[in-house]
Chains A and B, each alone.
Chain A
Amino acid sequence: MSTLTRIATAAAVAAGLTLGLGAVGAQAAGGGEGPGLKRPYWSFEGVFGGYDEQQLRRGWEVYAQVCKSCHVLDYMHYRNLEQIGFTEDEVKEIAASFEVEDGPDEWGEMFMRPATPMDEFAKPYENDAIAKLANGGVVPPNLSVMARARDGGADYIYSLMLGYRDEVPEWVLEHDPNFELPAGKSFNAYFPGYAISMPQQLFEGILEYPDGTEPSAEQMAHDVTAFLQWAAEPELEDRKALGRYVLVFLLVLTALLYAYKREIWKDAH
Chain B
Amino acid sequence: MSSTPSPVWSNRTIKWVDRRLPIFSMMHKELIVYPTPRNLNYWWNFGSLAGIALVILILTGIFLAMFYTPHEDMAFASIERIMREVNFGWLIRFIHMNAVSLFFLVVYIHIFRGMYYGSYKAPRELLWGIGVLIYLVMVGTAFLGYVLPWGQMSFWAATVITSLVTAIPVVGNDLAIWLWGGFSVDNDTLKRFFALHYLLPFVIFALVFLHLWALHTTKSNNPTGVEVKKPADTLPFHPYYTMKDAFGLGVALIVLCFFVFFYPNYFNHAINYVQADPMVTPEHIVPEWYFLPFYAILRAVPDKLGGVVLMFLAIAIWFILPLLDTSKTRSGRFRPIFKWFFWLLVADFVLLTYLGAMPAEGIYVTLGMWATGYYFFHFVVILPLLGWFEKPLPVPESISAAVTAGHEKEAAA
Contact = CB atoms under 8 A, between A and B. Distances in A.
Given A75-B80, A254-B250, A257-B247, A235 B266 contact: no
Interface residues of B, number: 40
Interface string A37-56: 00000000001000000000
Interface stretch (A95-103, A144-152, A173-181, A200-208): A144-152
B352 to A, nearest CB: 14
B312 interface: no
Contacts of B270: 148-151, 153
A21 B262 CA distance: 18
A250 B264 contact: no
Contacts of B354: 21
A22 B259 CA distance: 14
A250 B251 CA distance: 8
A239 interface: yes
Nearest to A47: B262
B265 A250 contact: no
B247 A243 contact: no
Contact of B43 (A7, A25, A240, A257): A7
A148 B273 contact: yes
Interface in B215-253: 235, 239-240, 243-244, 246-247, 250-251, 253
Given A192-B283, A257-B247, A268-B38, A243 B260 contact: yes
B84 A235 contact: yes
Given A3-B41, A257-B243, A242 B261 contact: yes
Given A149-B274, A246-B261, A268-B235, A253 B84 contact: no
A264 interface: yes
Interface residues of A, number: 40
Interface of A is mostly: helix
A269 B235 CA distance: 11
A249 B254 CA distance: 9
A247 B254 contact: yes
Interface string B300-332: 000000000000000000000000000000000
Contacts of B239: 264
B407 interface: yes
Contacts of A250: 250, 253-254, 257
B250 A239 contact: no
Contacts of B266: 22
B90 interface: yes
Contacts of B257: 243, 246-247, 250
Contacts of A247: 254, 257-258, 261
A214 to B, nearest CB: 32
A261 B250 CA distance: 12
A265 interface: yes
A82 interface: no
Interface of B: 38, 41-43, 77, 80-81, 83-84, 90-91, 94, 235, 239-240, 243-244, 246-247, 250-251, 253-254, 257-258, 260-262, 264-266, 270-271, 273-275, 283, 354, 357, 407
Interface of A: 3-4, 7, 21-22, 25, 47, 74-75, 141-142, 144-145, 148-151, 153, 192, 234-235, 239-240, 242-244, 246-247, 250-251, 253-254, 257-258, 260-261, 264-265, 268-269
